[in-house]
Amino acid sequence: MPCPDFTLRDEGDQPWSLREHLAGNAVAIVFYRGDW
């Protein structure tokens, strides 16, 4: 089953989507608690 796609805002407040970055690439997603 494919991983869920998503589009979120990045540190520059720009949209970043998983699918767009998977073209020929693997993407490692790190989930973290934040507030560091």
Partner 1 sequence: MLVAISVDPPEAGAALVEKLCLTFPLLSDPDGAGALHPYGTWNAEQGIAFPAVVLVKPDGEEAFRRDSRDPADRAPEEELLTAARSLDLDPVEQQPPHPRNPRPGQKAFALPGLEPFFRGVGSGAKHLGGRIEAAAEEAGLLAEEAERYAEAAHARAAQGGS
Q: Which residues bind partner 1 (CB under 8 A)?
A: 1-14, 16, 18-19, 21-36
The answer to whether residues 19 and 5 touch, using CB atoms and an 8 Å cutoff, is yes
HSE value, Cβ hemisphere, 13 Å, CA-based, for 30: 3
Minimum CB–partner distance for residue 28 and partner 1 (Å): 5
Q: How far is 36 from 2, CA to CA, in rounded Å? A: 31
Shortest distance (Å) from residue 21 CB to partner 1: 6
Q: Minimal distance in Å, beta carbon 15 to partner 1?
A: 10
